[in-house]
A and B are shown apart, each in its own frame.
Chain A
Amino acid sequence: MSPLLEVGDLSVAYGAIEAVRDVTFSVDEGQIVSLIGANGAGKTTTLRTVSGLLRPRAGTVRFDGRDISGLPAHSILNLGIAHCPEGRRTFGRMTVEENLLLGAYTRDDEPGIQSDIRRVYELFPVLGQRKNQKAGLFSGGEQQMLAIGRAMMSRPRLLMLDEPSMGLSPIMTNLIFQTISELQSQGTTILLVEQNALAALALSDHGYVIDLGATTLDGPGKELLADERVRSAYLGED
């Protein structure tokens, strides 16, 4: 079976500056795959290219066997890839409910949308209790819940999460990672970008290390966790 997402020799540049030069990885259906690496390694750029916000300079992005590199972002969402961006990026001047409705922007099955909204509220009760409040009034962790819920609203086959634990308390981080596991068990494939390599790899079926814009190392999550090079570089051990 071919992988759901396949990225090969990806190169992306901002003007003359090459942010990603040689990234290769794949995600199988049903897996959690994480990309780990230092700040500025090119993880976010990679996700932004997969979702169509950036155009690759070279390389391939295949989703479900189809070349999607260079398609506009709104078409890529329609194919079944949702991207929960770094820094949450909730629409702060809109209510929780409006944010979720925007997540379902491309759908028109009203009953399905309503039942998915209820599902998000069951997953994150705080969102349901304050559904008519503006998203900008919520804490960082609550906004992260909203951003994940919003990304779920398009019923994606592949959910990409960029630094979902950034700036969150340990309790909140736990909750978010629990949710990610739950989403996987419900059948969503997940591509995770994290600086919290320990938590991410513990959860992942497979992991890739990105260093200076290139994938340098990969393996099953547990094996990478045990790898000395990974431990010294990303887990703060000597």
Chain B
Amino acid sequence: MTTLLQQIANGIALGATIGLIALGYTMVYGIIQLINFAHGEVFMVGAFGGLAVHRWLLPEAWQGDWYISLPLMIVGGVVVAVTIALIMERFAYRPLRNAPRLAPLITALGVSIVLQEAIRIWFPNAESAQAYPKAFIDAQVDLGPVSISASKLLIIVVSVALSVGLQLYVTKSRMGRAMRATAQDRDTARLMGVNPDRVIVLTFLIGAALAGVAGVLYGVDITNVDNAIGFQNGIFAFTAAVLGGIGSLRGAVIGAFIIGLIKTLGGQYMPGGTQYDYVWIFVVLIFVLVFRPQGLFGEAERVRA
């Protein structure tokens, strides 16, 4: 029983990380129907951005105080992730806005490889995994029978708070309405005075900021990062977005928690153990898509006269 609860807690923590990344996939898809395969790499460069801040910018005197060093690392991760994402939107995707859909998709794969290699080549020593600073309280928190690290708890809290905040922003604010309008019908949104370029830039910016936060918190929790973490977690996040119904914010977050739970519980209880935990994720994905191709919370394509 304790093992079960423990694995549920681990799964929720993993889902919280994946969820922050999945939001970026689902938002960009909602607005420009692009699966931005480089989004996992935005998460990865965010993690390295936080590491760079700790290594080269933070005075040694501050490194021990998590309440100073962690926020600054998060800011660093977010700035790096957002900068990369905006450059990528401006120079890789915007010129292809009216091209057939396959062109930006292949471009996204290309950008993804460029970012992985750039980190490997130019980030000092990044050919191998880099130790990540323990920039948060290094302790276990006991919740009844379950013990969870403080850094995992932080990821869960931050992820839930940011997801709720984003949902409110998109449903209640004026820019949020413009985003939803652009996602539904770009030409008609333009007739309302919405500038689609601004909405698209904002979408990339928000998605990248969330991925940057996730990257730093992930590094702090796992305590080492390499240039492949973006690919691995990006695949999980993309799968979560599809499972939840791509384009849906709520779907992406719930999909991410489902995937986190399948991975940890499958690794614990299914034959093959953790070596096969990926398999169960994709088995569930395939089943969901066979019976509900639009995903759990996605809207079926409807055509109205």
Contacts and interface: CB of A to CB of B under 8 A. Distances in A.
B194 A53 contact: no
Contact of B191 (A53, A94, A140, A167): A53
B190 interface: yes
A105 B178 contact: yes
Contact of A103 (B187, B192, B305): B192
Contacts of A94: 177, 180-181, 184
B178 to A, nearest CB: 6
Nearest to A136: B304
A52 B195 CA distance: 12
Interface in B170-187: 174, 177-178, 180-181, 184-185, 187
Contacts of A85: 187-188, 191
Contacts of A92: 184, 302, 304
Interface stretch (A70-78, A120-128, A225-233): A70-78
B193 A106 contact: yes
Interface in B285-305: 299, 302, 304-305
A102 B190 contact: no
A133 B187 CA distance: 23
Contacts of B193: 73-74, 77-78, 105-106, 154
Interface residues of B, number: 20
B209 to A, nearest CB: 24
A83 interface: yes
Contacts of B185: 89, 91
Interface residues of A, number: 28
A78 B304 CA distance: 29
A105 B194 contact: yes
A83 B192 CA distance: 9
B129 to A, nearest CB: 44
Contacts of B184: 91-94
A231 B44 CA distance: 69
A93 B299 contact: yes
Nearest to A48: B187
Interface string B66-82: 00000000000000000
Contact of B190 (A73, A87, A136, A167): A73
A82 B192 CA distance: 8
Given A87-B305, A92-B304, A98 B192 contact: no
A102 B302 CA distance: 22
Choose among B180, B190, B194, B299 the residue with the greatest number of A CB atoms under 10 Å from its CB: B190
**A-B CB proximity, top 10 nearest:** A106-B193, A73-B190, A77-B193, A89-B188, A74-B195, A102-B192, A74-B193, A105-B192, A105-B193, A83-B191
Interface of A: 51-53, 72-74, 77-78, 82-83, 85, 87, 89, 91-94, 98, 101-103, 105-106, 136, 140, 150, 154, 167
13 contacts: A53-B190, A73-B187, A73-B190, A73-B191, A74-B193, A85-B188, A87-B305, A91-B181, A94-B181, A101-B174, A136-B302, A150-B192, A154-B192
Given A51-B191, A94-B177, 5 more contacts: A74-B190, A83-B191, A91-B184, A102-B178, A105-B174
